[in-house]
Chain A
């Protein structure tokens, strides 16, 4: 049966203790205004809470915002935890203060894309539109 055109569902999350939420909120709002269904978990989420929310809400993509320097721990650990739950088809992307040297390592760990400061919202929206598709419904 052909899947109907349901809205792509994106979880925007702020993992860990980092409180810089300006970027996450601007991106969440821009995605919502562009027709995506957006869930923003609020600050100070543990990775288990993020995985739980992704499962509960049945999201198609997770965007993490990290400005604290903890990205080399957080991204790979999240991807590991998603795998454990059989959620490895969720597209993981992110943004924040991330040195360019770290980007190839993050991609190798399974992060689909990293957006650096100064990225146009339009570019993020376009990327999400092209790269995050509705996941097969797992019933």
Chain B
């Protein structure tokens, strides 16, 4: 791919660098050698959690071609290494956005109101498994899952309840939803309309990133091509009618949680992003009309500097790709805006209070990496959905970072660190190797078909597990500093099994009250439209939602046309 990544001839003078080299040699041969002979270092090899080797010390020799203007430039200036906004957190702090939702729509409405009352600044909806897979609560595959991992949604009625008393023109909402994103977005639009808020006024995000589903998270229904067609329909519709909506949240989070390394997370996410840009262009849109509404979503794991370097590298890579490869003219198309969530997979079931510390460190990395919004996990999430007390501590963690630590006083405080700059370069170089490999395979879709990213991730996850078993990597309380006979010291949230019954009853009632004939005829129209690849399905799905068609009916009708995807099950 013809995107320039290296610069030659930086801000260091050749003679000065020579001086450093000489001094370093002397230091290594002299005091260092002596010290190591007397007190050997703790390990032969130091590496990040992703197994990237880290040197003892970084000096200007590690970034000899460092070119401030080309590599970093100023905040809000291309290539945005230091941040996409000119004043960053001095102007406005990141959005504190806690992912939440469980049980019935009523319970979720209550939790949202609570979160807003304690100072949260945006909503983030968690749906239960049946909703994530576009199934109704009374579908046989939904048994045992209703309301468990998030809120249960069957029809528009549920959305009306969830947002009751929450002004949809003031609050922005992120919805973690993928195959049925088109249905949930339609519900959001119609629920807002019923509050008197038109679609051009609402703001928020649908995750709508099907590529990473096939790579990592595995929430799929249809095969890749029809799945991407729905992604496209959302992008095209919103570009014309819902201008403040973020149409895709291109997600590395799930790739990382599935066990990838930081470099793989970076590379596969950007490869997905490239595909989505191609998709928009192929749909006939001008790149600058839709690219500014693409956002990203990264994981913040335990390896502090690796995460910061990853986020800085990501911004720089995306800016270059958008400007140089796709010829975007609008600087907003060059911006990589991203949400971050602390790493769920880093939390431990053992000694769960320690998770507060882990999350705080990961959150700090996200802030130093320049995130636009942040979710901090709660200490009890390896056990269950968080209790109110646990989510409060998690949000307080962000507030403490924002208001007490002083880290938001200056922009990109680690910029210029020899280590951070060298690591940022290394992340970028290694990510390009993956992206070029994917391009060689014909792009991310053929790569997924060949199982390439999936196998790379599975391999990395297994390698890490082996390092844990060999104690090459330590997790406090899991493979070291174990507390024998530990009792669970914290309260955990249990979702009432009654939720299932409540949802069944509501679904029945809604079905009785709606015009089933109208729904049936619209579902026929949907099948016809689905069969024509050129049709945009968003308008007809909005009509269906307005008539209280269920998510299962809508997704099921399309399944008849699109077919189903089966897990190749690599291990």
Chain A interface residues (CB < 8 Å from chain B)? 12, 16-19, 21-22, 24-26, 28-30, 32, 38, 40-44, 46, 68-70, 72-74, 77, 97, 99-100, 116-118, 120-122
Contact = CB atoms under 8 A, between A and B. Distances in A.
B407 interface: no
Q: Is the interface of B mostly helix, strand, loop or mixed?
A: loop
Nearest to B146: A70
User: Which of A17, A42, A69, A99 gathers most chain B CB within 10 Å?
Assistant: A17
B348 interface: yes
Nearest to B569: A42
Contacts of A40: 569, 571
A25 B571 CA distance: 5
A35 to B, nearest CB: 16
A41 B569 CA distance: 7
Contact of A68 (B149, B349, B383): B149
Contacts, number: 107
A44 B569 CA distance: 11
A118 B348 CA distance: 7
30 contacts: A16-B145, A17-B133, A17-B142, A18-B145, A19-B218, A21-B218, A21-B258, A22-B259, A24-B571, A25-B462, A26-B259, A28-B571, A29-B462, A42-B566, A43-B569, A44-B133, A44-B141, A44-B567, A46-B140, A68-B129, A68-B149, A69-B495, A72-B144, A73-B143, A97-B349, A116-B349, A117-B349, A118-B350, A120-B468, A120-B469
Contacts of B479: 118, 120
Given A21-B218, A69-B145, 9 more contacts: A18-B145, A19-B218, A29-B458, A40-B571, A69-B148, A73-B143, A118-B350, A120-B468, A121-B465
Contacts of A73: 143-144
Contacts of A22: 257-259, 345, 461
A122 B142 CA distance: 34
A69 B495 CA distance: 9
Task: Kindly state the interface size class of chain B when it binds its partner.
Answer: 35 or more
Interface of B: 129-130, 132-133, 135, 140-145, 148-149, 217-219, 257-259, 345, 348-350, 382-385, 458, 461-462, 465, 468-469, 475, 477-479, 488, 492, 494-495, 566-571
